[in-house]
């Protein structure tokens, strides 16, 4: 069983290295692209739902969204009736980048 974990860890590391290299020209890294995929697929998703989809804690979601927001890839909106809930929308830049990200991911899957 330990050997299986080792190979999973190695595969994950190579995936991260590939994604970081391919996404770098777009100002993204392997830990950020998954947020854009979910946000582009579900514009208006609430920030509270992302931790369950991506399986990371809320503070990491907040940090990643702040980075994506400063890169002009997402925007947060609070609804007038509930200021505590932030809805996340992709920007035009993110929408244009979505097919590029998908091509990178699909190429890695094929490899």
Q: How do the domains of the chain map onto residue ranges? A: 2-110
CB 40, CB 90: distance < 8 Å? yes
Residue 22, number of CB atoms within 10 A of its CB:
19
**pTM of this structure:** 0.86
Residue 47 vs residues 27, 32, 62: alpha-carbon distances, Å: 22, 14, 8
Give the number of residues written for the chain. 111
Q: Across residues 77-87, what is the average pLDDT?
A: 81
55-72 pLDDT tens trace: 999 999 999 999 999 999
Q: Which CATH fold would you assign to the domain 2-110?
A: Arc Repressor Mutant, subunit A (1.10.10)
What percentage of the chain carries pLDDT values higher than 90?
80
Residue 46, number of CB atoms within 10 A of its CB:
14
d(CA 87, CA 44): 5
């Amino acid at each position: 069983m330990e050997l299986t974990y080792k190979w999973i860890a190695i595969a994950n590391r190579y995936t991260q290295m590939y994604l970081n290299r391919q996404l770098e020209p777009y100002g993204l890294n392997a830990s950020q692209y998954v947020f854009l995929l979910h946000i582009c697929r579900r514009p208006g998703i609430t920030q509270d739902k992302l931790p369950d989809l991506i399986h990371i804690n809320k503070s990491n979601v907040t940090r990643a969204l702040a980075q994506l927001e400063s890169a002009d890839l997402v925007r947060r909106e609070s609804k007038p009736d509930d200021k505590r809930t932030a809805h996340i929308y992709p920007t035009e830049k993110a929408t244009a980048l979505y097919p590029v990200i998908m091509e990178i991911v699909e190429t890695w899957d094929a490899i």
